Amino acid sequence: MKKLLGLFFIVSFLCFGEDTSNNKSLVNPTQVKEEIQLLKNQVIELKSELDKMQNKDKDITYDKDRVYSDALKYYENSKNDTLNSTAHFVSSLQWFIGLIVTILVGIIGFFQFRNDKQLTKERREMQLEDAKLKKEIRSENRKLKKELEDKILITKNEITNLIKEHEKEIQEIKIEIKKDVEIVEFNSGLTAALNKIKPEEKIDELNKLNKLESKFTKIQNSRIYFETAYQYANLKQYEDAVLNYDIAIKLDPKDKDAYNNRGVAKSDLKRYEDAILDFNIVLELDSNHKNAYYNRGSAKSELKRYEDAILDFNIALELDSNYRNAYNNRGVAKSNLKRYEDAILDYNIAIKLDSNYKDAYNNRGNAKSNLKRYEDAILDYNIAIKLDPQNMTSCINRILAKLKLKQYEDAILDCDRIIKLDPKNKLVYGQKGVCWLQLKQPEESILNFNIAIKLDPKDKGSYNNRAEAQLFLKKYKPALADLIKCIEDDKEYKFMIDVYQEYYDEFKKYLQKIKNKNELEEEIYNRLIAKDGFTIIEK
């Protein structure tokens, strides 16, 4: 504002100072020169006119000097008039500009004053509002602080009352915590000690500790028996494992892990109903024990209670959505219910969780085989075998898929691979015999059926298939002997012979010629006549 007033005074002085009409410096020099030049031109024109007049009328005389003097005088007067009018115009313009500037400065000053007054008023109102708000906040804070203190006091009283009411339970929890700490410390020490011992010596050392029960607490003795049972289970000595779990549970009836592991050992002994009882106890002690749900589901699957098994697997997966084994076993249960597409979805998730999960690849291959997608099944079996080159289960399943695709030579190579790993695998010799039989080489097939029967004299499938090979060779007597072997222990057994019709007819004629038919021969003959004794073999 002070700067604005200063500017106002300077402009006023410039505009309203002393008269500058005689000050030539205010006149534009260029304009003056133009006026002078104009007057000179007029003088020259007047002179020219006088000359013309003189020539035109000699009678007229005039005074040249006087005319020239008058012209100069006229020029000087005109010059002064021009300078005076120009100075007067400039002075008037300066005065008018000064007036306009003075008015503008006054207007600006007026509005600036009004604006400053309004700002001062608004600032005062804001200060009052701020003071009011601070007062309200302080009041609210005091109120909240009071409420919080009251709640803290009430909570303290409630906690005190709860402690008094549940003092017994709290003591039990403290004892439980102390017990857990003791178990963890003892287990850590026990595990560290066992890690220094050779695997075959661990059970002996644990049995020595079991004989020193008096030197340990009840809980410590429970853990020793638990560890002993665990080592027996690793050695697949499941009966001994169950006995030691029994003692561990007797010493600590709330040891859910002992119940769970005992249930697993009983499952390995095919005592599935007993195992389920143990898993039920685990779930009573801990309703969120995912392994107990999974193990109970697996036991139910073995009892062919597939729907119930799926329910248990579902709960296990709700507790742990990354439980790959639960996805795999749920897929197996669905496959047993012929829900092969659903099963494949579960196997896919299991494989996504673990790309090296060989069992999931094998089981997915089985589901695809059941859907007659044998080429896809073989791809899964290939991956399973690649992950575990000694995986005989997947190799056997691949043989069955190749048989369906009539890839008999490749199937024989797989049979040889398994025989190299397990020379006493009766199933593979039987499958190899079937391959040779389909390749119309009955002698080779009989050699393999002979080995399968030697490894398992009650293998009715091998007897049946060898009978078919004998029929190809028109050896009816040994073929009859093999068929008799098939049904002597099982009257409901159906023959699975896939032979040419001519062999079928010739065999029937052979039976007609036998004079001393015994009961089993008569049974075979009657089935042939009734045409219900033969079915197409599924190799």
Q: Residue 468: name the closest of 459, 456, 480, 457 by CA.
A: 480
Tokens standing for residue 428:
């593979």
Which range of 29-43, 52-66, 504-518, 524-538 scores highest in mean pLDDT? It is 504-518
What confidence tier does 11 reach under pLDDT thresholds 50, 70, 90? very low
Poorest-confidence range of 49-58, 343-352, 512-521? 49-58
CATH number of 167-284: 1.25.40.10
Distance CA 38, CA 43 (A): 9
- 494/146: higher pLDDT: 146
Does 536 have pLDDT greater than 60? no
Angle, CA of 319, 325 and 326, to the nearest 5°: 45
Q: What is the pLDDT of residue 140?
A: 83
- 328/195: higher pLDDT: 328
Distance CA 243, CA 517 (A): 55
Q: What is the pLDDT of residue 176?
A: 61
Coil/strand/helix, residue 495 = strand
Does 190 have pLDDT greater than 70? no
Does 57 have pLDDT greater than 80? no
Mean pLDDT within 161-186 = 62
Q: What is the pLDDT of residue 449?
A: 95
What confidence tier does 16 reach under pLDDT thresholds 50, 70, 90? very low
Which range of 18-32, 107-121, 435-449 scores highest in mean pLDDT? It is 435-449
Mean pLDDT within 509-526 = 72
| Average pLDDT score, the chain | 80
Model-wide pTM > 0.95: no
H or E stretch at 307 = helix 306-319
